[in-house]
Amino acid sequence: MNPLGQLSVVAAFSVPNGHELITAIVSGLLLGGLFAVTALGLSLVFGVMRLINLVHGELIVLGAYLAYVLFDHAGIDPLVGMLIVAPAMFVIGYPIQRVLLNPLIEKGMEPALLTTFGLSIIAQNLFILIFSGDTQSLSPGYASDSLSFAGITVPAVYGISFVFALVLTGATHTVLQRTAVGRAVRASSEDPVAAGVMGVDVRRTYGFVYGFAALCAGIGGVLVGLCFSFTPTSGTIYLLTGFAVVVLGGLGSVKGTLLGGLTLGIVESVGSTFFGDGYRDFIGLVAFLIILSLRPQGFFGRAA
């Protein structure tokens, strides 16, 4: 055991006062909304198709880059540009599922899983080729603004992300539970063969779900670009964060994804006040493993 390593951890530890702790909880709660948005598409794809979509992180980064191009070259505000980015991501995601993944899913999950891994590597190299390896960010005027209430100050973009999380997860849950499209999605998830016999076009439904997942990833990418800087390889950390959120909330559960994101945000934010911001990701993953060992099915269990 390295005694110097022990000393560095001890030196990093500090006990926050009450105000710092409350600020961390509020900040983590709002940041958890961003985690939920970035993980929603991952949850939907697994919940409906039982496919672990390893290119999901790169779809998030692609959304960030599309917003960056619109902002940097056309002067379009990122939140306004989201109206362009979101449908563009759907158009990109739908044919990926219909042309590449659907034929492979019929042969088992392994070929489709490896294909998404290959797409992830290809996407990272294309990002480097097109945008270079430099760090980028979206920086409209409000990106550096703060929200202050009751003596608590948090970044304004965290609040924006939280609102998007509530709206997007609420709308998705409503569509899945109360519309014909949602019934087709749930039927395709529960029993694709029976759904096909009942007249549901399962392949088309899978394509819609994947396209919508890409749309959610694009929205998450815009919010990521507003909150943090990003590079061509940033998708990996958001894929890992998405896995933690999805498993915490329950595989395929929309409500669980929101709750899992909020939980992870609070745990990381509070933990970083004790051990320093450099331990944020480490604390989140440790908490993820602990909760998973106590409740393997997540907060809401598996659901479409």
* Cβ-proximal residues to 83 (8 Å cutoff; 6+ apart), any chain: none
Q: In this predicted structure, what is the pLDDT of residue 149?
A: 80
Q: In this predicted structure, what is the pLDDT of residue 10?
A: 46
Which amino acid is present at 264?
L
**Mind listing the pLDDT tens digit of every residue in the chain (304 residues)?**
444 344 444 445 676 677 778 888 999 999 999 999 999 999 999 989 888 999 999 999 999 999 999 999 899 999 999 999 999 999 999 999 999 998 888 787 789 999 999 999 999 999 999 998 899 999 888 888 888 887 788 889 999 999 999 999 999 999 999 999 989 999 988 888 888 888 888 889 999 999 999 999 999 999 999 999 999 999 999 998 998 898 888 777 888 899 999 999 999 888 888 877 777 878 888 877 887 787 776 666 655 4
Phi and psi based region of residue 77 (left: phi greater than 0; alpha: psi -120 to 50; beta: remaining): beta
CA distances from 153 to 69, 142, 158, 265, 292 (A): 31, 14, 11, 16, 32
Q: In this predicted structure, what is the pLDDT of residue 8?
A: 44
Strand, coil or helix: 195: helix
Which tokens go with 109? 């999950």
Alpha helices in 179-250 (DSSP H): 180-190, 192-197, 202-227, 235-249
The rounded distance, in Å, linking the Cα atoms of 32 and 260 is 8
Q: Which backbone phi and psi does 203 adopt, to 5 degrees? A: -60, -45
Q: What is the pTM of this model?
A: 0.90
Q: In this predicted structure, what is the pLDDT of residue 93?
A: 95
pLDDT in tens, 231-257: 999 999 999 899 889 888 877 788 889
Q: In this predicted structure, what is the pLDDT of residue 281?
A: 79
Q: Where are the beta strands (DSSP E) in the chain?
A: 146-149, 152-155
| Domain spans in the chain, listed from the N-terminal domain onward | 41-233
Which tokens go with 78? 């990122």
Which tokens go with 178? 């109360």
The rounded distance, in Å, linking the Cα atoms of 240 and 226 is 20
